Amino acid sequence: MTGTLTIAGLGPGSEAMITPEVSAALASATDILGYAPYVARVAPRDGLILHPSDNREEIGRATDALRLASEGRNVVVVSSGDPGVFAMASAVFEALEASPQWHDLSIRVLPGITAMLAAAARIGAPLGHDFCAINLSDNLKPWAVIERRLRLAAEADFSVAIYNPRSVSRPDGFARALEILGEAGPSDRLVIFARAISTAHERIETVSLRHARPEMADMKTLVIVCNSATRQVGRWIYAPRHAG
């Protein structure tokens, strides 16, 4: 098998945040696979075939990528942010586990700047102490698991980066998440709503947890619920490294 499979992160939105390593992989690819809006971020060119697909077709997309690479193609599977954070790297390895005929393929994962890091950098250093990331989508895990993790994270006083907070099909989950965080931790903790970071539509809003409202977030928003020690200095927000 002479082909290659690269799993690459396109960063949060700005071309300036795509790493040179990822740019080089895209330039040498014969095939790009990914969720349609992410594939659309890759410029078409001669010799390149784009394979956009729906966001719920991850395993099928991963299987197609493995097959194309086994046929000698130079395949790149793209995700936004980092491919290993709630993205395609896990899906590719899940498909690979079920397909021993492809275990010897040349595969590499190229990191990208994920939304929580881009958002944190814009506002200061709210992830400067211990933190965790939780995906509010219940497509691949039960809502009960999400609730338990939110509660435990708040009780442990982690800063919490929340991905996929609120969608049209899940309008109520984020409201419940805010309730849980308020019940399990201080209600005066800062909450950062960072929407479309690094794009022309970027917007950042910071409020206390008690004033956070579900409609302040959508699927383009990364939410950071700060720990109780987080401080605000002018327009900057940071978590002291000695908190505990």
What are the pLDDT digits (tens) for 84-117?
999 999 999 999 999 999 999 999 999 999 999 9
- Band of pLDDT at residue 50, cut at 50, 70 and 90: very high
pLDDT tens track for 155-214? 999 999 999 999 888 889 999 999 999 999 899 999 999 999 999 999 999 999 999 999
Which residues make up the CATH 3.30.950.10 domain(s) of the chain? 116-238
Homologous superfamily (CATH) of 116-238 is: Tetrapyrrole methylase, C-terminal domain (3.30.950.10)
Residues 6+ apart with CB under 8 A from 5: 65, 66, 69, 75, 76, 77, 92, 105, 106, 107, 108
pLDDT confidence of residue 163? 97
- Band of pLDDT at residue 244, cut at 50, 70 and 90: low
- Band of pLDDT at residue 243, cut at 50, 70 and 90: low
- Can you read off the two tokens belonging to residue 194? 């960072």
User: By C-alpha distance, which of 87, 86, 90, 67 is closest to 78?
Assistant: 87
pLDDT confidence of residue 171? 85
Class of 4-113 in CATH: alpha beta
Q: Tokens 């419940």 appear where?
A: 176
Which residues make up the CATH 3.40.1010.10 domain(s) of the chain? 4-113
Q: Tokens 């080089």 appear where?
A: 24
% pLDDT > 70, the chain: 99
- Band of pLDDT at residue 1, cut at 50, 70 and 90: low
Distance CA 118, CA 60 (A): 30
Residues 6+ apart with CB under 8 A from 140: none
Is the pLDDT confidence value at 242 over 90? Answer: no
pLDDT tens track for 135-167? 999 988 999 999 999 999 999 999 999 999 998
Stretch 5-12: mean pLDDT, rounded?
98
Where is 178: in which H helix or E strand?
helix 173-184
pLDDT tens track for 20-49? 999 999 999 999 999 999 999 999 999 999
